[in-house]
Structure 1
Amino acid sequence: MTVRGHRGALLRYRREGLLNSPLTRRLVVGTLPGVVIGAVVRVFAVPGANVFRLLVAVLLTPLGLWLVIRTIRPARATPAAEPSPRTITGLALLVGIVGGVYGIGGGSILGPVLVGQGMPVTQVARAALASTFATSVAGAASFALLSLTGSGDIAPDWYLGFACGLGGLIGGYLGAHLQPRLPETALRLLLGALAAALGVFYAVQSLR
């Protein structure tokens, strides 16, 4: 989990006054306890890397393809209503647990799901980013504390996290700057394509 990688985009959104929204609060309230639960499960109950890769592939590949198809061929019937606040918080809790177990960024799962349900990308992006930042901090702290009581390689790799976060810091800031300038349809297609591509990448990795 990288913390610095989210800060660039968050700073941009904060300056524009876009972080204080009900959706952001619901996602944070759900993902924070979820990531702590997931960290405990990861340390004491879950096997290693191949299961992680397969889980990412199973989650993200169909999710990304579903979002691309819904964007290219929207349903002719009445669009589905946006998820209820309770559903959003429950989904965030589940995603937080998965993120705590396998270190998957919650936004990579929550984003396509919420956008696929008709919520605007601009609204989902800042809320998912804020919740991912919060869970990254909570997850790193949870693993650091668990490393004091557990055995094995549990503690966060701070150097790797810093290296990944430095690139994410720049990319996140630029992405938040470019987002308002891109059409909604293009953003949906890009989000779906990236999710599907990441899922395929992890599927291939798990077969090696």
Structure 2
Amino acid sequence: MLVFRTAGIEVAPWIPPLVAFVISFFTSMGGVSGAFLLLPFQMSVLGYTDPSVSATNQLFNIVAIPSGVYRYWKEGRMVWPLTWAVVAGTLPGVFIGAIVRVSYLPNPKHFKLFAAAVLLYIGLRMVQDLHKNKAGAHTKADAEKKFREMVRRHRAQGAQAGQGTAEALPKVKVTHFNMRRLGYTFYEEVYDTPFWGIFALAFIVGIVGGIYGIGGGAIIAPFFVTFFGLPVYTVAGAALMGTFVTSVAGVAFYQGIAPFHPNMSVAPDWLLGVLFGFGGMAGMYLGARCQKYVPARAIKWMLAGIILFTAVKYVAAFFGYS
């Protein structure tokens, strides 16, 4: 057993990386680092409920995310203008969120209720998206099927030509990017979205992510798919990269304000965060590699189920039913 002094817990050193690996493998397919599920594990299973758990969660993002981003970049599925718009919006929000967490939500019981509200909203939005627009369901399914068929075809062609799969896959091509609109093409489909809509969403998500300690990817990825109609195959990389940058800022901010709160655990538990990060690094890389072979609908149903289960559990615990 290993003692983590900042977190105030004792746990076998192989458990954090294993748990992070399993979570990140599945969640990274939807453009989510897995931090939104890792935080409930730390609070409910490990008993780590101090405000520093949010910073530790963001430290996990810093270590784990680069492998997933690298894979999406290598396969040409990074929409960089979308990524930087997300970063610009979430950075100021994450600082506000960190202050709110330390000043107004240090109580574990109240924070769990806040966490439940965030998870419920995310989960219900995803379920609503899966059920609405049934008239277009076949079109979306056909598009996803068409994409997977292209992946298989290019993989076969690449093998015959002596190329890797990533080099043979279709790439994202940005058609326009300015202060009003962002547009790009991917697999013969054209996507166009308002810049300020993305920025405003990112700012709000930054605040929530700064409080919760998730960087915001778990919230912003479903919004991109639901409200802006962007494909999960291109959103995932941008959401992960945005989460990485904002997590760096979040950890630095929590560490910086720690001396002003000497009676409270605010700075991250570096050892625990790094162990989680190593497991998440492997899980995200494999998840990003496998995502193109898994239907986007299946990914969203999986995430929605896990999110809602965790949220209901927290609400029940708050009212004394578990």
Relative to structure 1, is the Cα distance of residues 105 and 204 closer, same or farther in structure 2, using a 3 angstrom cutoff?
Answer: farther
The residue aligned with 1:52 is 111
Which residue type is aligned with residue 223 of structure 2? V
Which residue type is aligned with residue 97 of structure 2? G
Q: Which moved more, 1:5-14 or 1:24-33?
A: 5-14
Q: Which moved more, 1:28-37 or 1:51-60?
A: 51-60
- Shift, 1:191, TM fit: 3.2
Which residue type is aligned with residue 315 of structure 2? A
The residue aligned with 1:203 is 315
- Shift, 1:37, TM fit: 2.0
**1:109-129 superposed Cα distances (whole Å, 9 cap, x missing partner):** 112222222221112211111
Q: Which moved more, 1:51-60 or 1:198-207?
A: 198-207
Structure with higher helix content: 1
Q: Which moved more, 1:169-178 or 1:84-93?
A: 84-93
Which residue type is aligned with residue 6 of structure 1? I
Relative to structure 1, is the Cα distance of residues 43 and 56 closer, same or farther in structure 2, using a 3 angstrom cutoff?
Answer: closer
- Shift, 1:101, TM fit: 2.0
The residue aligned with 2:249 is 138
Q: TM-score normalised to the size of structure 2?
A: 0.58
The answer to whether the aligner puts 1:190 opposite 2:302 as a matched pair is yes
Contact kept? 1:108, 1:195, Cα under 8 Å: no
The answer to whether the aligner puts 1:21 opposite 2:131 as a matched pair is no
**1:22-68 superposed Cα distances (whole Å, 9 cap, x missing partner):** 21111111111111222223233433222222122212224323322
| Distance (Å, rounded) in 2 between the aligned partners of 1:9 and 1:200 | 29
Relative to structure 1, is the Cα distance of residues 154 and 106 closer, same or farther in structure 2, using a 3 angstrom cutoff?
Answer: same
- Shift, 1:205, TM fit: 4.5
Q: Which moved more, 1:40-49 or 1:121-130?
A: 40-49
Structure 2: state its 5+ residue gaps.
1-57, 137-190
| Distance (Å, rounded) in 1 between the aligned partners of 2:112 and 2:193 | 28
Root mean square deviation, CA, Å: 2.3
How many residues get paired? 205
The residue aligned with 1:67 is 126
Q: Which moved more, 1:49-58 or 1:86-95?
A: 49-58
Relative to structure 1, is the Cα distance of residues 46 and 148 closer, same or farther in structure 2, using a 3 angstrom cutoff?
Answer: same
Relative to structure 1, is the Cα distance of residues 166 and 201 closer, same or farther in structure 2, using a 3 angstrom cutoff?
Answer: farther
> How high is the sequence identity, in percent, across the aligned residues?
40
Structure 1: state its 5+ residue gaps.
none
- Shift, 1:82, TM fit: 7.1
Larger radius of gyration: 2
Relative to structure 1, is the Cα distance of residues 14 and 72 closer, same or farther in structure 2, using a 3 angstrom cutoff?
Answer: same
Q: Tell me which of 152, 156, 159 is aligned to 2:271.
A: 159
| Distance (Å, rounded) in 2 between the aligned partners of 1:104 and 1:202 | 17
Contact kept? 1:34, 1:96, Cα under 8 Å: yes
| Distance (Å, rounded) in 2 between the aligned partners of 1:190 and 1:112 | 13
The answer to whether the aligner puts 1:84 opposite 2:191 as a matched pair is no
**1:50-92 superposed Cα distances (whole Å, 9 cap, x missing partner):** 2222122212224323322432442559xxx976221211111
Structure with higher strand content: 2
Contact kept? 2:130, 2:297, Cα under 8 Å: yes
